[in-house]
């Protein structure tokens, strides 16, 4: 039953308690850690001499320490810790991971070059000869060399131009070599780093840093998913055609409400059947989670998504999650606008049904190529009617002309747009266009909630 008046407003406001985003705190902690790493170098360096060799070796030590620290953060960002995945957002955590990875690889490469160069100047030998001496005579250097080569290989494979030419599965399994590289290079840091050789406290700090990251990785990437799937035993119940090229997969299981999933979140799904069991892809919940049922709606856009239409009832499902920060907890205003494009309708459809709102305060704008591409449209109409919400769509014209989501058009349809929270999900072009239009219309960036699932 829909309430109105002051009672409904009080009920809605009680539901609007935005969660604090810990991104700023986490970034400050990361920078503080980098400062502490620099202090390790400074504390263990008695004298900074002004000759070329000492400068090169010193720079090699600094880049090595920072590279080792950043590698730990890179692994942490791969661990799928809930504080990152659900509070900061999976897309932001993925961007942090990519950026940290680039810096880590660059620092490691600089460490190798500067160190070899510095020692070659000291010993007055060639770079090749000095490289062979370091690998052959220094402890743990053979393993470190292999680990560094693997790390550079992963960095090369993750470069945009290379990544786009690889199958996702190839890139994913190649990316797992990062763990091998980290293990092989870790011992070299303790065995040859003067900061650690001379200080038991520094060694303890490094063990705690890498031990904590390793424990989080083991729990959230391995043990927690095993626990979730053994407990809930999910299977495909049925596959439903929604529109051309779009299907919904209904997934049943035991006590699914105990997973703690929310509307707007997603899981990484693995379907244990031929051709799909080795692929894990992110798909959002397209309906509010029920104690006995979860639903995803997928548009065929590749081999994995296209194969979902052929799933047989009873197929075992392996899921990891829930992930994502685009939930009702991010909201801070009474009025909410949802802007969806393409497959981005799936999380917003679930939010459209569940976000607390008074009649008239909730709106959904759906951007698609044509009316035939408006997946779940009948459901959206039913929800809009039951909740007295506004439902709009924008599709290409008969000549293919693409309607813009402009600042002027938004202000025309929503005169008080600057008083809204906006949830935005869709292709990069739509997201960028809508974001700039919303900002120009006066919506603060903190009230534009967006996640990209292009992992």
Distance of CA 24 to the CA centre of its chain: 16
Based on the fold, state whether residues 345 and 434 are members of the same structural domain.
Answer: yes
Across 94-101, average pLDDT:
89
Question: Where residue 298 sits, what CATH number does that domain have?
Answer: 2.40.30.10
Based on the fold, state whether residues 72 and 196 are members of the same structural domain.
Answer: yes
Cα separation of 450 and 447, whole Å?
A: 9
pLDDT tens by residue, 200-237: 999 999 999 999 999 999 999 999 999 999 999 999 99
Across 253-270, average pLDDT:
93
Q: For residue 286, which of 318, 258, 314, 249 has the smallest C-alpha distance? A: 249
Based on the fold, state whether residues 74 and 150 are members of the same structural domain.
Answer: yes
Phi-psi region of 29 (alpha: psi -120 to 50; beta: other; left: phi over 0): alpha
126: helix, strand or coil: coil
In a domain, 414, yes or no: yes
Do you know the residue count of the chain? 455
pTM of the model: 0.82
pLDDT of residue 388: 93
Based on the fold, state whether residues 103 and 175 are members of the same structural domain.
Answer: yes
Q: Residue 13, Cβ neighbours under 10 Å: how many?
A: 12
Based on the fold, state whether residues 175 and 290 are members of the same structural domain.
Answer: no
Cα separation of 421 and 403, whole Å?
A: 23
Structural domain boundaries enclosing 282: 233-323
Sheet holding 246-252, edge to edge: 235-243, 246-252, 293-299
Of 323, 339, 361, the position where a domain reaches its end is: 323
Cα separation of 167 and 278, whole Å?
A: 13
Strands 420-425 and 281-284: unpaired
In a domain, 291, yes or no: yes
pLDDT of residue 401: 75
Of 292, 323, 354, the position where a domain reaches its end is: 323
In a domain, 387, yes or no: yes
In a domain, 15, yes or no: no
Based on the fold, state whether residues 392 and 438 are members of the same structural domain.
Answer: yes
In a domain, 2, yes or no: no
CB contact at 8 A, 361 and 334: yes
Based on the fold, state whether residues 223 and 86 are members of the same structural domain.
Answer: yes
Based on the fold, state whether residues 372 and 304 are members of the same structural domain.
Answer: no
pLDDT at 6 over 70: no
- CA distances 406 to 33, 414, 441, Å, are 43, 12, 9
Of 323, 341, 374, the position where a domain reaches its end is: 323
Based on the fold, state whether residues 62 and 138 are members of the same structural domain.
Answer: yes
Bridge partners of residue 294, in order along the sequence: 251
Based on the fold, state whether residues 428 and 344 are members of the same structural domain.
Answer: yes
* Eight-class DSSP state of 327: S
In a domain, 5, yes or no: no
Across 255-273, average pLDDT:
93
Question: Where residue 413 sits, what CATH number does that domain have?
Answer: 3.40.50.80
Based on the fold, state whether residues 308 and 431 are members of the same structural domain.
Answer: no
Specify burial of residue 398 (Cβ count, 10 A radius: 0-12, 13-18, 19+). exposed
Based on the fold, state whether residues 314 and 332 are members of the same structural domain.
Answer: no
* CB-based contacts of 123, cutoff 8 Å, min separation 6: 130, 133
- CA distances 243 to 132, 246, 300, 374, 376, Å, are 63, 5, 11, 8, 8
In a domain, 406, yes or no: yes
Helices marked H in 45-167:
52-77, 82, 90-123, 127-137, 141-157, 160-163
Question: Where residue 145 sits, what CATH number does that domain have?
Answer: 1.20.120
Across 84-98, average pLDDT:
83
* Eight-class DSSP state of 311: P
Domain count, the chain: 3
Q: Residue 416, Cβ neighbours under 10 Å: how many?
A: 9
pLDDT tens by residue, 289-343: 999 999 999 988 777 778 898 999 999 999 999 998 889 888 888 999 999 988 8
């Amino acid at each position: 039953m829909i309430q109105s008046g002051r009672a409904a407003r009080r009920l809605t406001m009680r539901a609007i308690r935005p969660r604090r985003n810990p991104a700023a705190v986490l970034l400050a902690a990361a920078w503080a850690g980098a400062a502490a790493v620099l202090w390790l170098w400074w504390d263990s360096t008695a004298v900074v001499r002004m000759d070329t060799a000492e400068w090169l070796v010193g720079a090699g030590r600094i880049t090595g320490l920072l590279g080792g620290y950043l590698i730990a953060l890179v692994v942490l960002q791969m661990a799928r810790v809930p504080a990152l995945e659900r509070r900061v957002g999976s897309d932001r955590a993925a961007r942090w991971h990519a950026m940290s990875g680039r810096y880590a690889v660059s620092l490691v490469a600089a460490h190798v070059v500067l160190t070899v160069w510095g020692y070659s100047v000291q010993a007055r030998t060639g770079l090749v000869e000095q490289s062979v001496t370091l690998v052959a005579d220094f402890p743990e250097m053979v393993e470190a060399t292999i680990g560094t080569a693997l790390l550079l290989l992963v960095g090369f494979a993750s470069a945009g131009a290379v990544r786009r030419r690889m199958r996702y599965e190839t890139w994913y399994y190649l990316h797992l070599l990062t763990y091998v590289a980290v293990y092989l290079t870790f011992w070299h840091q303790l065995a040859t780093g003067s900061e650690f050789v001379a200080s038991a406290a520094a060694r303890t700090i490094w063990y705690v840093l890498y031990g904590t990251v390793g424990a989080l990785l083991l729990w959230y990437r391995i043990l927690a998913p095993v626990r979730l799937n053994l407990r809930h035993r999910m299977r495909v119940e049925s596959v439903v055609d929604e529109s051309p090229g779009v299907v919904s997969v209904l997934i049943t299981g035991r006590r699914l409400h105990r997973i703690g999933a929310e509307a707007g979140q997603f899981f990484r799904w693995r379907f244990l059947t031929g051709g799909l069991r080795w692929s894990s892809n992110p798909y959002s919940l397209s309906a509010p989670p029920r104690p006995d049922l979860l639903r995803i709606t997928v548009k065929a856009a590749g081999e994995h998504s296209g194969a979902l239409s052929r799933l047989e009832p009873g197929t075992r499902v392996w899921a990891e999650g829930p992930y994502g920060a685009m939930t009702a907890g991010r909201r801070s205003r009474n009025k909410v606008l949802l802007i969806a494009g393409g497959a981005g309708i799936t999380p917003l459809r679930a939010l459209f049904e569940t976000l607390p709102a008074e009649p008239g305060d909730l709106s959904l704008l759906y951007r698609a190529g044509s009316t035939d591409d408006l997946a779940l449209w009948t459901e959206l109409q039913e929800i809009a009617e039951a909740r007295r919400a506004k439902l709009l769509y924008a599709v290409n014209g008969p000549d293919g002309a693409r309607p813009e989501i402009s600042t002027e058009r938004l202000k025309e349809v929503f005169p008080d747009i600057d008083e809204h929270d906006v949830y935005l999900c869709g292709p990069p072009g739509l997201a960028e266009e809508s974001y700039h239009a919303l900002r120009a219309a006066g919506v603060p960036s903190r009230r534009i909630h967006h996640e990209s699932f292009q992992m």
